[in-house]
Amino acid sequence: MKDNDKVALVTGGGRDIGRACTLELARRGYKIALTYHASADPANAAVKDIEAAGGEAIALQADLTDAAQVQQMVSDVIARFDKIDCLVHVSGGLLKRVKIAEMPLDHWKAVMDVNLTSLFMVCNAVIPHMPTGSSIVTFSSQAARDGGGGGAIAYAASKGAVMTFTRGLAKELGPDIRVNSVCPGMISTTFHDTFTVDQVRANVAASTCLKREGSADEVAKLVGYLASDEASYMTGNCVDINGGLLFS
């Protein structure tokens, strides 16, 4: 329990990697505020799990592509905890696979909003409440490195922008606040259950050095490290976690 005086905000913290991050940070002693969009039951279950282990947590519903809801969400966190020492922005998504020649402008804008604009708005609202020594962990993707799979060009482009945003923000906020990004590869989550067919998943897993998919808990442990003072000389980094599928 190293950080029991600190507060972490995890967006998209109710399920999959986001849930694993909330539990890992709670295990490290953070008080937790997590957001969800539609997954109320898993989010509330995560809160109960944290409280059952002796921690403190709240779950807040918010559409993070809506500026007013972002501002209200942050106000609610500050009203409860007074500050935010750590922001982990997991929220995002592919939405659906669409090739560029068939892509309507609305889809492009929606993907950029959910992955990039939401990150900007959350950071814009949270940073004024972060004390010196705080940290931000963003979520990019292996798709930002290799362009993504079929029909994922909007997603890959948005996650590439997250990498650049992370580096720029690290320069802007240093030395007071550290900013790093996590770039997951094939992680066993509902994301791939929804968007990646079984044969492709098997082929990708077999192509990694470790011959398997990763787990949400493995990603969360990396996030916990980057968020903590253990990573005190790391900022502006985009850290791969892909089983050795791609070296950068």
Which residues are part of the catalytic machinery?
A: 155
Query: What is the Cα–Cα distance from 80 to 75, expressed in whole angstroms?
Result: 9
| Buried-exposed string 68-92: b where 16+ CB fall within 10 A, e elsewhere | ebbeebbeebbeebeebbbbbbbbb
Amino acid symbol at 92:
G
Omega of the bond leading into 131 within 30 degrees of 0 (cis): no
Query: What is the Cα–Cα distance from 97 to 85, expressed in whole angstroms?
Result: 36
What angle do the packed helices 16-27 and 216-227 form, to 10 degrees?
50
Instruction: Give the contacts of 185 (CB within 8 A, at least 6 positions apart).
Output: 142, 204, 208, 214, 240, 241, 242, 243, 245, 246
Please, what's the largest Cα pairwise distance for the chain?
52
